[in-house]
Amino acid sequence: MPLVRKPPSQAPATVASPAPIEGTSEQRWAAVRDAAERPDGLALLADALSREGARDGDPRVREAIFTSLARLATPESAAVVVPYLRSDDANLRTGAIDALRAMPLACLSHLPALLRDGDADVRLLSCELARELPDEEANRLLCELLERETEKNVCAAAIEVLAEIGRPEAVPSLVRCAERFAGDPFITFSLKVATERIAAPARDRQ
Amino acid sequence: MSEVEPVSPEELRAICEFLYRRTGMLFTEAKRYYVQRRISDRMNALGIAPFRTYFAYLRSDADGEVEKFINAFTINETYFYREDHQLRCLSSDLLAERVRAKRPGEMLRIWSVPCATGEEPYSIAIWLLENWPQVDVQDIEIIGSDIDTQCTAAAAEGEYGARALMRLSPQLVEKYFVPVGKDRWRVVPELRQSVQFSSANITKASETRQHGIFDVIFCRNVLIYFDDASRRVAAENLFEALAPGGFVCLGHTESMSRISPLFDVRRFRDAIVYQRPHAGGKGGGSNG
């Protein structure tokens, strides 16, 4: 039989990592991946992200940093990622939102501030993070946003999430939002769909 | 089976979190029946009740209970030549590309992870012996790995029922198996000796790194059971385990593009696979 069976693995054991922000791309990649298991990992990853987040940073290393921060999944590791939601670099923004989405409960303490952020894009992206939260928290946060939000795209993002996870208590906030955007056909349509979807299970239970 | 009292929502959450931390497999209340059944099986097997006593037993890992508990959650049913379009892609496109990237005489390495009870790595071996003309001149190492050590032990034994062999022709069954009882067949010794089995959790870099670097990885129908963070970690572990230009084949419902931007998508005639970019970064992934 021409296939080869070799003795049990010949690969080298895990090698101790170099300092995470030095060396070649390969070394930095390996180091940031291991950082999530180091006691000083959070600080190392924050430092590494500030370097790799620069224009000449390595996207692959950056991705591994986001993954390691998501593995830590603490409010502190989420805090390292949050500022990158405001990056001018679209890839970095996407990496940040994906990382935060992978640690939903760690984002919980940051979401009230994010949903009040001065940057409408940050508020919009943060609506998506609420989708991963327990329903009660998500409904409360998104309804609060709907009561005050003036940007229709942000409202649309919140409505889309509520259409999936909304509870009957969200309906009054949706109705008031509909009144504020009465002249906007897209928002009006989205609100109609969301309120119908939320009402349907309650109606079915009766 | 004696009746085990259903776990409370809090108890379910606690044991699911325990399982998640150990394996990356995520279960919630929505999978209550599936989880409850496995808890009940373990409690009945041990004669332990109530749940809190079993959970304490599990957390203390008494008599290797953690491994037995994890084994109860892994999906092990599969069969030979499952999703054989990927095997066609392997022999018609992937291996030729990998051979071109190698020095003369350098071995090709293929990893089936998770391999369950061995149907996939043996299928790869049979497929190549039957369909890849270079099989006689190219050294190929095939490794099957799984988190479930009972599975890898069964894989090494190589004994299967009719259901596992349903997609193999009678000629292939006759050539590569010997009957060992009513509706039972065993892989011939030469083939069993051609495939190596080991234990590996693909969310643990320390375990995947021990297996070295591969040209092609089959990692099918497991990432769907992981949550986002574990999927990302697993994708990075697979990336790290591939040679530059190496390929990973996922299950037909899975998409690496939704998990990680690290890989290039390659569309071949028979399958879509994901490729670790060649040295120098992404960009080598035009259509195959």
A-B Cβ pairs (cutoff 8 Å, strict): 87
3.40.50.1100, 3.40.50.150, 3.40.640.10, 3.40.50.720: which CATH number matches B84-275?
Answer: 3.40.50.150
> pLDDT tens for residues B101-154?
999 889 999 999 999 999 999 999 999 999 999 999 999 999 999 999 999 999
Asked, for residue A12, whether it belongs to a domain, the answer is: no
Interface contact flag, A60 B281, Cβ < 8 Å: yes
Looking at the structure, do residues A30 and A93 belong to the same domain, yes or no? Answer: yes
For residue B228, the chain A residues in CB contact (below 8 A) are 70, 98, 101-102
Looking at the structure, do residues A142 and A81 belong to the same domain, yes or no? Answer: no
Residue A154 near residue A146, CB atoms below 8 Å = no
Q: Which of A59, A92, A107 is the last residue of a domain?
A: A107
Closest CA to B231 of A195, A146, A158, A66: A66
The whole domain housing A99 covers 20-107
User: Which residues are paired to B143 by β-bridges?
Assistant: B111, B196
Q: Which residue of A has its CA nearest to B240?
A: A30
Verify cis geometry, omega within 30 degrees of 0, for the bond prior to B170. Answer: no
Q: Would you state the structure tokens that stand for residue B227, as one six-digit string?
A: 């949550």
Asked, for residue A161, whether it belongs to a domain, the answer is: yes
Looking at the structure, do residues A206 and A145 belong to the same domain, yes or no? Answer: yes
User: What share of chain B in percent tops pLDDT 90?
Assistant: 68
Looking at the structure, do residues A89 and A25 belong to the same domain, yes or no? Answer: yes
Please provide residue B184's backbone torsions phi and psi, each rounded to the nearest 5 degrees. -130, 140
For residue B190, the chain A residues in CB contact (below 8 A) are 1
Asked, for residue A124, whether it belongs to a domain, the answer is: no
Looking at the structure, do residues A79 and A142 belong to the same domain, yes or no? Answer: no
Domain B9-71 classification at class level: mainly alpha
Looking at the structure, do residues A24 and A100 belong to the same domain, yes or no? Answer: yes
Q: How far apart are CA B207 and CA B200, in angstroms?
A: 6
Question: In the prediction, which pLDDT does B281 show?
Answer: 58
- Of the pLDDT bands very low, low, confident and very high (cuts 50, 70, 90), residue B62 is confident
> pLDDT tens for residues A126-182?
999 998 788 788 999 999 999 999 999 999 999 999 987 888 899 999 999 999 999
pTM of the model: 0.79
Asked, for residue A129, whether it belongs to a domain, the answer is: no
Asked, for residue A8, whether it belongs to a domain, the answer is: no
Question: In the prediction, which pLDDT does A203 show?
Answer: 41
Residues lower than pLDDT 50 in chain A: 9-10, 12-15, 201-206
| Domain count across chain A | 2
Task: Output the domain CATH number for residue A103.
Answer: 1.25.10
CATH 1.10.155-classified regions of chain B: 9-71
